[in-house]
Amino acid sequence: MKIVFSLYLISSLVFFACSDGNNDSEQGKTSSSESNVTDSNDYMVFTVPSPIIVSSMLKSLDLEFNESLIEDNINRGITCNRSMSKALNLGICLVDLSYASLFNQTQASLKLYKKVNEYTKMLGIESQEILDLTKKLESNVSNPDSLIKVLSEMQSKIDKYFLNREEQELALLILAGIFTEGLHISLNYISELEDNGNLIKYKENLDQMLLQQKVHLKNLNDLLSVYNKSVDYENLRNIFGELEDVFNDLAFNYSMSEDRKKIDRIYFKRKNLFLLLKKNSTVREKMLSAE
């Protein structure tokens, strides 16, 4: 299966994968969460995460910055040697950089910029466009609006760069890092708000974000299955498969608004969220500590 990449900056990255034309999905089904996939005779469209989605949502809700969520990554040295580990950690750092920047954390943003710059070099990216955008990150590190635009453009250019070099799997690994870190941040916010008795005000928005992350995970797993070229890729696919199983155990359901244009309410086994948080924390630590 050949995968072609395209980027929609407003909300998500989109993958176009060749299809055999068989469409088994049921249109209009609203009782449970399913993969957000559109297909035609030639293509299937997978929505997957961008580095700015979670941070933008949290900022729009006027929630406070929590440096402890990314502090371990900020202070951790770069020790990975394999391209797979470098790509995963670049994805994590892109999310953390957008998070720190949107919340006007200049010092944290500078440290994360240096890590993004280093991982870009270590992956051997030679595109002058991407190198120029990396320099722009540094000059805009204290300007959240500009930096977010640069991050989005940079992610698009990186995707196209690896596509042109027929190294789509590296772009997919960056997305795997982006997903893992985004889920890490959002789950910890939900957990803290629930512990403090303050979740009700933010519940609707955060639940919708969590449902979208469930969709992203299924799509990532479908895409990762294309690239089981080595034991490392197979291990990552298995780890993400286990994470998807925990997500499925939450038993998401939702109802639609009367005009059926948007999701009205989301239901799931909230008491099991700590299992998802625990599992994703394990996945994240494996990525951060990978050689």
Measured between alpha carbons, how far is 135 from 129 in angstroms, rounded to an integer? 10
Question: What is the per-residue pLDDT for 207?
Answer: 93
Average per-residue pLDDT for the chain = 81
C-alpha span between 67 and 96 (Å, rounded): 10
Read off the pLDDT band of 65 (50, 70, 90): very high
Look at residue 126 and tell me whether its pLDDT is greater than 50. yes
Kindly list the domain boundaries of the chain, sorted by start residue: 51-288
Which residues, in sequence order, are bridge partners of residue 235?
none
Mean pLDDT in residue range 142-171? 80
Q: Is the pLDDT of residue 34 over 80?
A: no
- At 282 the pLDDT is 95
Rounded to whole angstroms, the Cα distance separating 153 from 155 reads 5
Greatest CA separation for the chain: 53
Question: Among residues of the chain, what percentage have pLDDT more than 70?
Answer: 82
Query: What number is the average pLDDT over the span 242-251?
Result: 95
Across 17-29, average pLDDT: 38
pLDDT for 166: 65
- pLDDT for res 4: 43
In 3D space, the residue among 46, 27, 49 whose CA is nearest the CA of residue 36 turns out to be 46
pLDDT at 288 over 90: yes
pLDDT at residue 29, rounded to an integer: 38
203: which 2 tokens? 């519940």
Q: How confident is the model at residue 122 (pLDDT cuts 50, 70, 90)?
A: very high
- What was the pLDDT predicted at 17? 38
Q: What is the pLDDT of residue 26?
A: 34
Residue 168 pLDDT class (50, 70, 90 cuts): confident
CA distance 154 to 15: 17
pLDDT at 158 over 60: yes
pLDDT at 2 over 50: no
